[in-house]
Amino acid sequence: MKKDKVVEIEEAVVRFAGDSGDGMQLTGSLFSDSTAFAGNDFATFPDFPSEIRAPQGTVSGVSGFQIHFGHKSIYTTGDLADVLVAMNPASLIANLKWVKNDAILIVNSDEFTDKNLEKAGYLTNPLDDETLSGHLVVQVPLNTLTYEAVKELDLDNKSVMKSKNMFALGIIFYLFNRDYTKTYSFFENKFKKNPLVVEANKKVLQAGYNFAETLEVIKNTFRIEKAELEKGRYRNVTGNQATAWGLMAAAERSGRNLFLGSYPITPATDILQELAKHKQFTCITQQAEDEIAGIVSTIGASYAGSMAVTTTSGPGLSLKSEAIGLAVMTELPMVIVDVQRGGPSTGLPTKSEQSDLMQALYGRNGDAPVIVIAATSATDAFYSAYEAAKLAMEHMTPVILLTDGSIGNGSEVFKIIKTADLPPINPPIAKANDPEYKPYKRNPQTLARQWAIPGTPGLRHRLGGLEKEDITGNVSHDPLNHEKMMQLRQEKVDKVADFIPELKIDGNEGADLLVVGWGSTYGVLMTTVEEMQNEGKSVSMVQFKHIMPLPKNVREVFSKFKKIVVCENNMGQFVNYLRMQLPEFRYEQYNKVQGLPFMVSELKQKFESLLNE
């Protein structure tokens, strides 16, 4: 057997692509687990079609999974791939634009039949012409070799073909010097009831690994040093899972039961599914008949004293608008999670966008201010969800937490913390028989009213959507009272600025260019700005997590820079919000609305041209 040379590298991007039925998401997540064991930092992103099973072999049915891993901190899922696994011609044609010029392409040559080539839109076989020149093409008859690997087992055709993704995974494991036996326990758990399938998967995975070892085209393999992560215990989380966990941690710390009223919607459903698993934490989840019932039951649960949450995506947020107004009026705490997706209307359900910002800020009848915060990464979703719940309960107001498809479905390495180390949460719960209690009497620091929970002696009161009289909470149509209440509701949200961290500049004050982002673009902006700083460019950045209210020092920060560019995955919603809030500054803008994240290369180009202007 030949012995390949091991090359040390800093980082790599691997992309798995196949038909929706080829199990690429699973393959990717198993490779992520192995990456975790190898001690690398990483970020992943699944890229799948909105149809569960689009026509087999066509480009619209291609499902992908990308992982970026390395020795240094990884903030993005990677621009272009170093290695692409293509399980059929359609996945090759769809993904070739996402690979580097000299990538390693591992293709299942068995699937490159005339019929499949035609379905994918290839006029000639790319394996036979110049299409792939420059790349290292590894042709693997994956179907044949998978059959070969399990031929002694008494397994039906379908089960055999279902395990062929493991052959591809075996090859990638070899390429990155991974221990494939670590994956065995996954098979043993997943197929507990079917030992034959466990055996088959093990055999196929091993066969893939061994096959790669014998391949002449593979001259060397790669090793990436363990990442320089802080000491501690780690795990892998997706953003949706982290959101759910942050919420549960907030419930635990606040001593309130968690209630979730929600309706399934891509890409937010995972949060509902995750919370539904944890009844042991008295986590009550209600899958409602529609989005409206989802939030309205949440309002009811909040009134009854639960830490109440509803989760949705853009179209669902539209349906919830009226009810959010009721939550504003009744001044009840709740977290509304919007995992944004491509819009408008049904838009691009499985793609990511940041285009619900204005809806979150203003999409209600009347002036109805709420706190709006945005998570900056999959792991940050944990902390953002926790903070959203804390702010909601301590300030007695709905909070909209914006994440998006890239955060929700993306995964990252998460450092496990102790729940006790999270900041405490102290909701202003009214005491039984308090003679001073008045439904709309406020705490002077926060302007929050008290939370008087049904069942408590001596605090009976009525809430509702009609305007309430200041302090007493009686229904009131008095013009001056209405104006006062409008101001109080706004002031209450504005005052939250006293309780959130100030904006932090990454880089030098007074650099030639300040890059501004919000939410999920943090990783890619950070990577770009760091690279440019290392090249000696005068660029700094700030990333907004708190949108309503803005951190107190924004004006001070902005005034230190001559040029400001606001980057976001929409048509310019945050930049226009800033133009409204802080009109004294001039803002350049850079927008990408393709349902795809920014790439470092395109950002660099933009920033360089701004620097050269």
Spatial distance between the Cα atoms of 374 and 393, rounded to a whole number of angstroms = 18
The two three-digit tokens of residue 108, written as one number? 């299942």
Q: How far is the CB of 365 from other proteins (least distance, A)?
A: 11
> Does residue 613 interact with other proteins by CB under 8 A?
no
Q: According to CB under 8 A, which one of 75, 180, 245, 587 is a site residue for other proteins?
A: 245
The answer to whether the bond into 49 is cis (omega within 30° of 0) is no
> Does residue 474 interact with other proteins by CB under 8 A?
yes
- If the CB atoms of residues 172 and 463 are measured against other proteins, the closer one turns out to be 463
- If the CB atoms of residues 299 and 526 are measured against other proteins, the closer one turns out to be 299
Judged by CB under 8 A, the chain residues 201 through 230 that form the site for other proteins are 226-227, 229-230
> Does residue 234 interact with other proteins by CB under 8 A?
yes
Region from 31-39, 55-63, 345-353, 354-362 binding other proteins, contact rule CB under 8 A:
31-39
> Does residue 429 interact with other proteins by CB under 8 A?
no
Q: According to CB under 8 A, which one of 155, 272, 323, 402 is a site residue for other proteins?
A: 323
Q: According to CB under 8 A, which one of 462, 504, 555, 560 is a site residue for other proteins?
A: 462
Q: For the residues of 245-280, what is the DSSP string, one character each?
A: HHHHHHHHHHTPPEEEEE---TTTHHHHHHHHT-GG
> Does residue 67 interact with other proteins by CB under 8 A?
no
Nearest to 561 by CA among 589, 526, 525, 587: 587
Site size toward other proteins, by CB under 8 A: 70
Check: CB of residue 190 under 8 Å from CB of residue 205.
Answer: no
Sequence-separated (6 or more) residues with CB below 8 Å from residue 82:
12, 13, 14, 99, 100, 103, 104
Q: How far is the CB of 415 from other proteins (least distance, A)?
A: 8
Check: CB of residue 91 under 8 Å from CB of residue 62.
Answer: yes
Q: According to CB under 8 A, which one of 75, 112, 173, 303 is a site residue for other proteins?
A: 303
Q: Is 226 exposed, middle or buried (0-12, 13-18, 19+ CB in 10 A)?
A: exposed
Nearest to 166 by CA among 185, 193, 146, 186: 146
- Work out the number of other CB atoms within 10 angstroms of the CB of residue 287: 15
Spatial distance between the Cα atoms of 55 and 123, rounded to a whole number of angstroms = 19
Nearest to 371 by CA among 326, 402, 344, 340: 402
Sequence-separated (6 or more) residues with CB below 8 Å from residue 536:
none
The two three-digit tokens of residue 49, written as one number? 């079609």
Spatial distance between the Cα atoms of 528 and 602, rounded to a whole number of angstroms = 9
Q: According to CB under 8 A, which one of 4, 33, 213, 434 is a site residue for other proteins?
A: 33
- If the CB atoms of residues 186 and 222 are measured against other proteins, the closer one turns out to be 186
Spatial distance between the Cα atoms of 461 and 453, rounded to a whole number of angstroms = 10
Spatial distance between the Cα atoms of 171 and 309, rounded to a whole number of angstroms = 44
Judged by CB under 8 A, the chain residues 279 through 298 that form the site for other proteins are 279-282, 284, 286, 288-290, 292-294, 296-298
Region from 109-117, 305-313, 565-573, 593-601 binding other proteins, contact rule CB under 8 A:
305-313
- If the CB atoms of residues 443 and 476 are measured against other proteins, the closer one turns out to be 476
- If the CB atoms of residues 92 and 244 are measured against other proteins, the closer one turns out to be 244
> Does residue 464 interact with other proteins by CB under 8 A?
yes
> Does residue 326 interact with other proteins by CB under 8 A?
yes
The two three-digit tokens of residue 306, written as one number? 């639960």
Q: How far is the CB of 419 from other proteins (least distance, A)?
A: 4
- If the CB atoms of residues 88 and 183 are measured against other proteins, the closer one turns out to be 183
> Does residue 232 interact with other proteins by CB under 8 A?
yes
The two three-digit tokens of residue 16, written as one number? 């798995």
Q: According to CB under 8 A, which one of 165, 206, 238, 330 is a site residue for other proteins?
A: 330
Q: According to CB under 8 A, which one of 423, 444, 455, 536 is a site residue for other proteins?
A: 455
Spatial distance between the Cα atoms of 190 and 169, rounded to a whole number of angstroms = 17
> Does residue 304 interact with other proteins by CB under 8 A?
yes
How many CA atoms are closer than 13 Å to the CA of 572, on its beta-carbon side? 9
Spatial distance between the Cα atoms of 271 and 339, rounded to a whole number of angstroms = 10
Q: According to CB under 8 A, which one of 6, 7, 37, 571 is a site residue for other proteins?
A: 37
Region from 48-56, 102-110, 156-164, 415-423 binding other proteins, contact rule CB under 8 A:
415-423
> Does residue 231 interact with other proteins by CB under 8 A?
yes
- The tokens 């850079």 sit on which residue? 590
Region from 93-101, 325-333, 483-491, 583-591 binding other proteins, contact rule CB under 8 A:
325-333
Q: How far is the CB of 35 from other proteins (least distance, A)?
A: 10
Chain residues binding other proteins by CB under 8 A are 33, 36-37, 39, 226-227, 229-236, 245, 248-249, 252, 257, 259, 261, 278-282, 284, 286, 288-290, 292-294, 296-306, 308, 322-323, 325-326, 330, 416-419, 454-466, 474-475
